Structure formats: structure tokens, C-alpha cells
Amino acid sequence: MAFTVISSGTTTQNVGNTDFFTLTAGGTLSSSSDAIFFIDASYTAATVNILGSVIAANIGVNAFALLDDVGGANNITVRVGKDGSVLADAFGVAFQDGDGNKVLNEGTIHGTTSGVFFDGGSTNAYVENHGHIAGVTGNGIFANGSGTHILNSGAISGDGEVATSAAVYVSNSVLDNSGTLSSEGGQTVVFVSGTNVFTNSGTVLGDVVYQAGMGRLANSGSGVITGQVEIVGGGGDRITNAGLIGNGVQLGATAFGSTLSNSGRIESTAYGIQLLPGADSVTLGNDGVIAAPSTGILSDGLNTSVTNTGKIDLGRLGYAVYLANSGATLINSGTLTAEYAVTFLAPGRVINSGEIHGALSGLQLFSYINPSPAMVINNTGTISGGSRAAVDSFVDALTPLVVRNTGTLTSDQSAAVSNFYDSALSLFNSGVIIGGAGVALTTGATKVDRVTNLGSIEGNVLLAGGNDVMVNGGTVIGEVNLGADNDLFRATGDGVVTGRVIGEIGNDSLIGANGDDNFAGFAGEDLLVGHGGDDTLFGGVNNDTLIGGAGNDSLISGTQDDVLNGQDGDDTLLGDGGNDAMTGGAGSDAMFGGADNDTLNGQDGEDLLEGEAGNDILRGGNGDDALAGGEGFDLLTGGQGADSFVFRSFLDTAVGATRDQILDFEQGADIIVVAGLHPGVFEFRGTSAFAPSGNPELRLFETATGSTIVQFDLDGNGTVDAEIRVANVIGLTATDFVL
């Protein structure tokens, strides 16, 4: 049976099974209690068309405009036309339970408590709104059953001061909005529990809250959510934003395994995206823009994955990405800019092919988890710091730091890479590292640091304690200081360090390659090997070994007993203190023993051997060598070639057992230079005695064993002032000397 009321009067209508009720335009159905009442729980498929006005209003009385109070009514359809209105003191349209009930609105539905109300027993309810649905002090739509589907292209509003008075307050629902959802208090859409899917291409004035269950949000390019999107609980949530979210996204303690993808714009008054503790294994993707004054992305969850191909720009404020728990991964091919661009508080991984810029630090790294996995940085893009490092590490002793750079690491005022605490650093560079204030890399650790450079490093490399290893096949514009303990520096190929490589304290090994190396061992028993190039090797304190290799090298010993080997090239070997052993090798070498008792071996080439102070052993080797023993008791062997035995001062000679000895003088080839012993020219006396005349004289004393003692009277008074023994040679003549 169908009821049609055409009236401008006042009436109350009961609707029964399969009834079709129409209130035409201009008509009014009014009651101080319930205006339309579905009277039988077994009624189904009734239809109510509201083209006029339904009013259920009595101040202080819970009045329902349309009410299924008995419950169980199914497939009821309520249509409110464009000029229709439903006004109620409590609920505009209310269903206690039932299945498949529908509200189709093109007009106005207003309820002081709720505009449209589906209690917990209502299932598979459907609301299609092209008009206005409002709850004055409560919800626009309340649906606590399962399977609710809301399609809105009009306006739905609520109070929104608390969650239960949101414009839309639903569970297990689908919400499609191309219109406007709003609330006075800011809580506009609240999903209570279950699986809730929200597709928005319209405007939400206020917050969207998922209290529990599994949430799905797709905010399209035209979609605007002016408030916050909050996932309080649940897990496995999916948020996709191509439009605008005006006050950030927050994922709560049980939002584990969720994903968020932004290709639009997320703004905030604090955090763009925030993950609270417990929001673990969340995947975040940004291909759009995140703008916030404090932090772009803040995560306290475990195993957070952030992929940024867009832009997070905080200028010179805050943090672009702040990851506070372990297992985090940041993959960036976009742009991250902030005061501290990226901060990790626990071990994680960074893969950067984009740009990371910090007004202070590019990457700021901490770790206090013991034991912990490595902190790994892979950079093919650009990471920069301003007043601090591009990679600014404070990770602790049990967290290794691994940096692989094929891009650019740079700082304006600090080291580009700073490993401040006691963490082991492994740095592989085939890109560019540029430090500020003259320093590219610095460590403060006692762990073993490993640095491999095949690219370019501009600035000093300053390593601290630990048995560090550095391999350089690229270019270092500056010095390398290996710090304390037993370190290894190894150049490969055409690797170049424009400054010195310093071993510092410890037994260090500094090994060159093809370039011109400048090595300084300093304290400790060091091994310095130049290999190719014109190298400068300085031993420093303790017993060092210096090997020049090919090229024209300079080898400088320190204060202890050093071994110097020039090898190929025209080398210069300087002894200093200690009993040094020097070998010139091939080439024309210059060797200076320095203090103490040294051994000098010229080997091939035309060498200069200067024993200097101490009791030295000089061996010229092949070639025309010049040997000068210097002070002390020296043994001189010229070797093959035309050698010169040079005595520069009377201090270089002595009388008796401590006289210098020439062990292999060859007449007609070698020569003994004594002109430096006295300002004048010696008178050669042969084997005759001195004839005191006041002039310097030289005589020969030939021993029974076939050697000659060359004796000098420096002041011409007839006494012997100095002697040289020439072993196994007699018959010397004036032509064997430069007098």
C-alpha cells in the first residue's frame, strides 16, 4: 500500500511493509516526537520520498524525523529531493539495525545530534549525498555497523569537538568524497574500526582519523584535507596523497606494516609525517613536496623505509628526515634540505642519488645500540654540510660506519666526512670529497679505519688511533695523517697526495706508486717505500726503513738506526742521527750519513758518499764515485770506476788506529783529494821525512805489509798532524793526489 501526503499541515505517519510514502513539494510532515516511523521489524523494501519538509522538533525531547526504532527493517530507501528537508531535534534519519537501508539526499538533512544515524546493528547501509547533511552538536553521518558506503558530492558537516561528534563517524566503511566534509572542532572524518576505505577528490575541512582497524586513504590531485591524517591504530594501512594534506600525517603505535605514498603536497605546523614508537616496518614514499617548520619526516618506528624522489625543503630550519629507531632505510633521488637534512639515531642505510643539503649537517648519524649492525651510506649524488660535515657521525664503538661515495660529499666550513666517536670507518671514494677549512676527512676513533680513494679528495685526511689502512689511487689535495698505532698507506697506479703522508705514532708502512710521494714516518719503526716517481721519504724517530724505488728520490732518516735504499734514479739520502745503513742503487746518488756510525753503499752510478760524523763505512760500487768519510774513523771502498776519496777538513782525519782507511785504491784511476785539509797546497815529500819549513807537507810511510800511511804536517813544523791509510798499495806518487 502506498501513502501520499499532499499537505501544508501537520501530521505523523507510520510506514508499513513494502509501503511507498511520498511527501510532495511544499508539504510538511511535523511531529513533536517521531515524524515517520517504521512500525514492524519484519518490514522490508519500503520507500520514503521527501520532497517537502519533515520536522521532528520539540526542545528537550529526543525527536526523530525518520526512525526505524523497532529494528530489523531491511532495504528501506529514504529519498530527500532537491527542495526537500528533514529537520530533527535529535536524529534526522535513524536506523537501529537492518540491512541494505539507503539514504539518498539532494536536499537537507539536519539533526541536532546526527543528520543520518545507523546504529551498530545496521549493515551494508548506503548514503548518497548531493545536498547537505549536518549534525549540529554531533555527527553529520554516524554508522557503527559494517559495510557502510557513503558517496558524497554535496556537504556533510558535524560538530567535531571530539571524535564521536565528527562530521563522518563510521566503521567498516567506504567513503567516496568529491564534495565538502567539515566540522567546527576539527575532527571531521573518524573511522572507528574495521577496514575503512576513503577516496577523496573534494575538500575535507579538518582531520581524518583512523582509530583502529585497517585504513585506506586515496587523496587525489584535486583532493584537499586541511587538517591532519592520523592513523591511531591498526596495521597494514595504505595512504596515497596526490593532492594537499594541510597539517601532516601521523601513524600511531600499532600502524605497523603501513605504507604512505605522496605525490602531492603535505604541509604541517610541526611534522610533515610522524611515526610514533610501534609504527614499525612502515614504507614511506615521497614524489611530491613535504613542507614543515620542524621535521619533514619523523619516525620512531623500527625498520622504517623512506623513498624520496620529490622535495622536502625546510630551508635552514629543522630536519628534513629524522629516523630515531634502528633498521631504517632512506633512498633519495630527490632533494632534502634543512638545518640538519637527515638524522639517524640508530644504525640504518642511506642510498642517495639526489641532493641532501644541510645548513649545519647533511647526514647526522648517532647510534647507542650495542651490539649493532653497520651504518651504511651509498652516495652517487650530492651530500653537503654548511658549518658541519656532509657526513657527521657520532656512532659508537660497536657500530661500524661504511661510506661508499661515487658522487660528491662537501662541506663549507668543516670536514666533509667526520667520524667523531670510537667507530670503525670504511670509506670508499671514487667521486669527489671537498672539505672546508682545509680538512676533508677526520676521525676521532681508536678503531681500524679503512679508506680507499680512487676519486678526488680536497682537504687533509686526519685519522686518529687504530691500525688504519688507506689506499689511494686517486688524488688527495692536502695531507694525509694516519694518527697513532700501526698504520698502512698504499698508493696505487697514478695515485697522488699533494701534501705529505704522515704516519705519526706507531710502526707505519707508507707505500707509494707511480707518483711523486712525500712520506713522513715520524714516531715508530716505519717502512717507507716510494716506488715510481720522485719521492721524498722522512723516517722520523725510531728505526725506520726507507726505500726510494724508481725516480729521483730524497730519503731522510731520523734520529735512530735507519735503513735507506734509493734504488733506481738519482737519489739523495740523508742520515741524521743513528747508525744508518744507506744504499744508493742505480743512478747517481748523493748520500750523507749524518751523525753516528753509518754504512753507505753507492752501488751503480756516479755517487757522492758523505759519511759525516761518526765511524762510517763507505762503498762506492760501480761508477766514478766521490767518497768523503767526514769526522770519525771511516772505511772507504771506491769499487769499480775512477773514484775520488775526499777529505774536506783536518777534522776528517786522525793519527794512529782511528785514522781513515782507503781499502781499494787503484792507481791511475782513483784519486785522493786532500786540498781541503789546509788552505795552502801540500808539498809532496814522497817517502822522505818532513822538512820543516812552515809549509804544509805530505809524506808516505810504506808498511812492511804492503800498505801506505799518508801522513800530513799541516803547520809545517815537522810533526804528523793527520794520517790516512791506503791499504794494499805502495808506490804512490803526487799524481794520485789533489794537493
Cis before 347? omega within 30: no
Which residue, among 328, 239, 235, has the nearest Cα to 279 in the 3D structure? 235
For the chain, the average pLDDT equals 88
Rounded to a whole number, what is the largest CA-CA distance in the chain? 163
Pairing outcome for strands 401-405 and 425-429: parallel
Q: What is the pLDDT of residue 22?
A: 61
Give me Rg for the CA atoms of the chain: 47
pLDDT above 90: residue 576:
no
pLDDT above 60: residue 388:
yes
Give the span between the Cα atoms of 311 and 309, in whole angstroms.
Answer: 7
C-alpha cell at 229: 591524517
Give the span between the Cα atoms of 201 and 63, in whole angstroms.
Answer: 35
Q: What is the pLDDT of residue 737?
A: 95
pLDDT above 50: residue 687:
yes
Give the span between the Cα atoms of 739 and 732, in whole angstroms.
Answer: 13
User: What are residue 348's DSSP bridge partners?
Assistant: 328
Question: Which residues have CB under 8 Å from 99's CB, separation 6+?
Answer: 74, 75, 122, 123, 124
**Are 287 and 262 a contacting pair, CB within 8 Å?**
yes
Tell me the backbone φ, ψ of residue 247, rounded to 5 degrees: -140, 40
- Considering only 24-38, 328-342, 412-426, 656-670, which range has the smallest mean pLDDT? 24-38
pLDDT band (50, 70, 90) for residue 314: very high
Give the span between the Cα atoms of 170 and 127, in whole angstroms.
Answer: 12
If one looks up domain 647-739 in CATH, what number appears? Answer: 2.150.10.10
Tens-place pLDDT, residues 173-184: 999 999 999 998
Give the SS3 label for residue 499: coil
What's the half-sphere exposure (Cβ side, CA atoms, 13 Å) at 294?
A: 10
H, E, C per residue of 335-396: EEEEEEEEEECCCEEEEECCEEEEEEEEEEEEECCCCCCCEEEEECCEEEECCCCCEEEEEC
Average pLDDT, stretch 456-479? 95
Pairing outcome for strands 155-158 and 132-135: parallel
Q: Is 40 exposed, middle or buried (0-12, 13-18, 19+ CB in 10 A)?
A: middle
**Are 668 and 657 a contacting pair, CB within 8 Å?**
no
| Most confident option among 334-343, 502-511, 577-586, 713-722 | 334-343
AA identity, residue 701: F
What pTM did the predictor assign? 0.86
Average pLDDT, stretch 355-359? 98
Give the span between the Cα atoms of 399 and 377, in whole angstroms.
Answer: 13
Give the span between the Cα atoms of 304 and 134, in whole angstroms.
Answer: 40
Q: What is the pLDDT of residue 50?
A: 67
Give the span between the Cα atoms of 344 and 272, in whole angstroms.
Answer: 17
Exposure letters 395-414 (e unless 16+ CB within 10 A, then b) = beebbbbbbbbbbbbbbbeb
Which residue, among 474, 564, 579, has the nearest Cα to 519 in the 3D structure? 564
pLDDT above 60: residue 40:
no
pLDDT above 60: residue 19:
no
**Are 43 and 18 a contacting pair, CB within 8 Å?**
yes
CA dihedral 395, 400, 406, 411 (to 10 degrees): 20
- Considering only 34-48, 82-96, 309-323, 351-365, which range has the smallest mean pLDDT? 34-48
Give the span between the Cα atoms of 484 and 217, in whole angstroms.
Answer: 57
Q: What is the pLDDT of residue 56?
A: 54
Average pLDDT, stretch 400-420? 95
Question: Which residues have CB under 8 Å from 109's CB, separation 6+?
Answer: 65, 80, 85, 86, 92, 93, 103, 115, 116, 131, 132, 133, 134
> Cβ atoms within 10 A of the Cβ of 59, count?
8
**Are 213 and 190 a contacting pair, CB within 8 Å?**
no
DSSP calls for 71-98: ---BS-EEEE-TT-EEEESSEEEEEEEE
Pairing outcome for strands 295-299 and 554-556: unpaired
Q: What is the pLDDT of residue 73?
A: 66
pLDDT band (50, 70, 90) for residue 3: very low
C-alpha cell at 313: 625543503
pLDDT above 50: residue 5:
no
Q: What is the pLDDT of residue 47?
A: 66
DSSP calls for 502-552: E--SS--EEE--SS--EEE--SS--EEE--SS--EEE--SSS-EEE--SSS
AA identity, residue 174: V
Average pLDDT, stretch 513-518? 92
Give the SS3 label for residue 651: helix
Average pLDDT, stretch 657-666? 95
Q: What is the pLDDT of residue 198?
A: 97
Task: Select the more confidently predicted residue: 568 or 69.
Answer: 568
Q: What is the pLDDT of residue 156?
A: 96
Cell numbers 585506506: residue: 216
pLDDT above 70: residue 17:
no
Residues of the chain with pLDDT > 70, as a percent, come to 89
Torsion region of 83: left, alpha or beta (phi above 0 gives left; psi -120 to 50 gives alpha): alpha
Give ranges for CATH 2.150.10.10 in the chain: 647-739
> Cβ atoms within 10 A of the Cβ of 492, count?
18
Average pLDDT, stretch 349-375? 89
Q: What is the pLDDT of residue 656?
A: 93
pLDDT band (50, 70, 90) for residue 653: confident
